[in-house]
Amino acid sequence: MTLSTQSAPLALITGASTGIGATYADRLAKRGYDLILVARDGVKLEQLAADISQRYGVAAKAFPADLTDGESLKKLEQFIQATPAISLLINNAGTILPGGFKNSDVEAIDKLIQLNVTSVARLSRVALDGLRQHQHGGIINIASVLALAAEISDPVYTASKAFVLTFTQSLQVELADSGLYFQVVLPAATRTEIWNKGGKNIDEIPGMMEVGELVDAALVGFDNKEPVTIPPLQDETKWLEFEKLRKALVPEFLQGQAAPRYR
C-alpha cells in the first residue's frame, strides 16, 4: 500500500465491508485518513476501497481476513506489527447468534466469542506498541448498550459487549499515562446487515438508528475525547450518575470480611 502522504494518519477498521465499519471508513477518509479495511468479504472490500480512494483521494487497502480463523487472525496481527504507521484501530467486527443461547450450538457460540471478544483483545495488544508512537494514537471499540442491559438480548452476545465495555474502561485506567486515547461506543439498534444474520425483521425493531447518524455521533464523542460514547442516550446526567455510583462501590469490594447479611 502506498500512503497518500507521509503525514496522512492511517486507520485500520475491522468489519469494514458494510454497516458501521464501512461508514467509519467513509467518514475517516473524508477527514484525510488512509485506510486498511478488514473483513471476510474480499470483493466488497475491494469495491469499497476503490470507491473511497476515488472519492476522497486517500489510499485505501483491502485486507480480507476471517477473525474467527486462527491463521487468518495471525496474518492480520503480523501485518499490524509490520505497519507502525497505523495510528487508529477500530475494533468494529462482530456477530450475533441467530437463535439465541438455547438454540445455538457450541461452535456458533465459540465463533461469536472469538470475533466479539478474542479478536478485540488480541488486535488491541498487537497494535498497542505501534499506536504509542503516534501523538494522537487511539483505539475505538464498538460495544453496545446491551452491555448495560442484560434483560434485552441473548446471554453470549450481551456478555461479549459487556467485555468490550469493561475491557476499554480498564485500558483507560492502566494506560492513562500512555498518551493513547481509548473510546468505547455503545450503539443501540442500528440499521445494519447484522439483523438479517440474526433472522430478525429490521422493520419490527423499535428505536432503530440510521448508521450514518450513529457513526457521526460517535465521531463527535471521539473529537471530544469521551471515554464512553452512548449516541442514543438523551440525558447524559443519567450515565454520569451511574458511573459515579459504580465507582463508589469499588471501596466496598475491598473488604476482608463478609457483609453482616451473610453471617
Active centre residues (catalytic): 157
58, exposed or middle or buried, with CB in 10 Å at 0-12, 13-18, 19+? buried
Q: Which helix (H) or strand (E) holds 184?
A: strand 181-185
Spatial strand order of the sheet with 138-142 comes to 60-64, 34-39, 10-14, 86-91, 138-142, 181-185, 228-229
Q: What is the DSSP letter of 85?
A: T
Q: From CA 41, how far away is CA 16, in angstroms rounded?
A: 9
Query: What DSSP string describes 121-153?
Result: HHHHHHHHHHHTTSTT-EEEEE--GGGG-TTTS
Residue pair 124/178 in contact (Cβ under 8 Å)? The answer is no
Residue 228 in grid coordinates: 464512553
- C-alpha 134/C-alpha 156 separation (Å) is 35
